[in-house]
């Protein structure tokens, strides 16, 4: 076998294992960030008996499998979602890394591309923030502005990378601003047209002309949907067109569809799933 290919397979395997470990950390983030607790200190403990968990209990995914989903000390069942998030993160890391295997950095070889490797690292960070946002949205039925700013910060890091590869700057900015523009148009239409479902046509048009639909959108009662909309716009911009196409389309359809209250917990999953699909199907200028 070709040495380069073997190097890429081994690296992808390690990226997957690394993803499992990171997934275990993401579980802590998902649980603690909404409570405003620190994510760097404190021990993990059993939710039932309070026993502090040791290293053999904390091997991502495998501890859960070997303990058959039960606490070693009290036998209480452990929710499978922790293992699922670890597995999902590992899988996402492996898939994204395999697809961008030409970016792997091996010092000493000719034609190396450290900027491409850093671009892969930023993409993996982005995947982490999106997974955390997705689960917080599911648990609390609302997004958090802070997470959208992390997404935009990672996009800024990607733009910063263009210093190393000047030719990238224009395509990256073009791709991201197209996605930003389309998501802004989608959100503007949703905000203006949202009373349409609830109101008779006469009131609906008066809402548009008096600006009431816009004021309603920015009222305190709508904070939840605003945080979710911001996450959608931030993720779409960060991955740029054409990768954002699925995300733009899916979010517009779901957001325009029936019962928003019921759909809120699922919005994060829709954003995350469609964005990931886009990044895998259309690796574009940004990532
Ligand atoms: Zn226990």
Q: What three-state secondary structure class fits 52?
A: strand
CB atoms within 10 A of CB 77: 10
Q: What three-state secondary structure class fits 142?
A: coil
Of 149, 152, 13, nearest to 91 by C-alpha is: 13
Would you state the pLDDT for residue 280?
94
CA of 56 to the centre of ligand 1 (A): 14
CA of 132 to the centre of ligand 1 (A): 25
Q: What is the DSSP letter of 39?
A: S
Would you state the pLDDT for residue 197?
67
122, 158 Cβ separation under 8 angstroms: yes
Confidence grade of residue 43 (pLDDT, cut at 50, 70, 90): confident
**Tokens encoding 13:** 């395997």
Q: Quick one: how far is CA 95 from the chain centroid?
A: 15
Averaged pLDDT for residues 164-177: 91
Q: How far is Cα 21 from Cα 39, in angstroms, rounded to an integer?
A: 15
CA of 58 to the centre of ligand 1 (A): 13
Give the tens place of pLDDT for each residue, 226-270: 999 999 999 999 999 999 999 999 999 999 886 778 899 999 999
CA of 33 to the centre of ligand 1 (A): 23
CA of 71 to the centre of ligand 1 (A): 5
What percentage of the chain has pLDDT greater than the value 90?
A: 60
CA of 18 to the centre of ligand 1 (A): 27
Give the tens place of pLDDT for each residue, 128-156: 999 999 999 999 999 999 999 999 999 99
Least confident of 49-53, 154-158, 179-183, 269-273: 49-53
248, 281 Cβ separation under 8 angstroms: no
Q: Quick one: how far is CA 151 from the chain centroid?
A: 8
Averaged pLDDT for residues 171-194: 93
CA of 39 to the centre of ligand 1 (A): 22
Concatenate the DSSP letters of all residues of 149-173 into one string. HHHHHHHHHHHHHTTT-GGGHHHHH
Would you state the pLDDT for residue 144?
94
DSSP3 helix / strand / coil % (the chain, rounded to 5): 75, 0, 25
Q: Quick one: how far is CA 97 from the chain centroid?
A: 16
CA of 62 to the centre of ligand 1 (A): 17
- Mean pLDDT of all residues in the chain? 90
Give the tens place of pLDDT for each residue, 106-127: 777 777 788 889 999 999 999 9
CA of 264 to the centre of ligand 1 (A): 32
Would you state the pLDDT for residue 258?
67
CA of 46 to the centre of ligand 1 (A): 5
CA of 83 to the centre of ligand 1 (A): 16
């Amino acid at each position: 076998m070709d040495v380069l290919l073997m190097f890429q397979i081994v690296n992808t395997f390690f990226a997957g294992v690394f993803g499992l470990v990171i997934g275990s950390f993401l579980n802590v983030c998902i649980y603690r960030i909404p409570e405003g607790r620190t994510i760097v200190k404190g021990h993990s403990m059993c939710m039932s008996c309070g026993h502090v968990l040791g290293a053999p209990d904390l091997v991502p995914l495998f501890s859960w499998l070997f303990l058959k989903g039960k606490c070693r000390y009290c036998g209480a069942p452990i929710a499978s979602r922790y293992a699922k998030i670890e597995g999902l993160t590992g899988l996402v890391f492996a898939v994204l890394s395999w697809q961008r295997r030409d970016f792997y950095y091996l010092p000493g070889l000719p034609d190396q591309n450290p900027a491409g490797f850093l671009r892969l690292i930023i993409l993996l960070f982005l995947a982490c923030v999106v997974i955390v946002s997705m689960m917080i949205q599911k648990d609390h039925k609302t997004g958090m502005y802070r997470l959208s700013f992390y997404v935009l910060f990672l996009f800024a890091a990607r733009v910063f990378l263009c210093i190393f590869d000047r030719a990238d700057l224009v395509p990256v900015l073009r791709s991201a601003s197209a996605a930003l523009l389309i998501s802004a148009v989608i959100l503007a239409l949703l905000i203006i047209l949202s009373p349409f479902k609830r109101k008779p046509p006469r009131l609906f048009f008066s809402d548009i002309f008096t600006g009431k639909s816009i004021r309603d959108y920015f009222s305190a009662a709508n904070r939840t949907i605003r945080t979710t909309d911001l996450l959608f716009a931030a993720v779409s911009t960060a991955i740029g067109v054409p990768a954002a196409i699925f995300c733009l389309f899916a979010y517009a359809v779901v957001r325009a569809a029936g019962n928003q209250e019921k759909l809120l917990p699922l919005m994060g999953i829709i954003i995350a799933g469609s964005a990931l699909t886009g990044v895998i199907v259309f690796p574009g200028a940004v990532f």
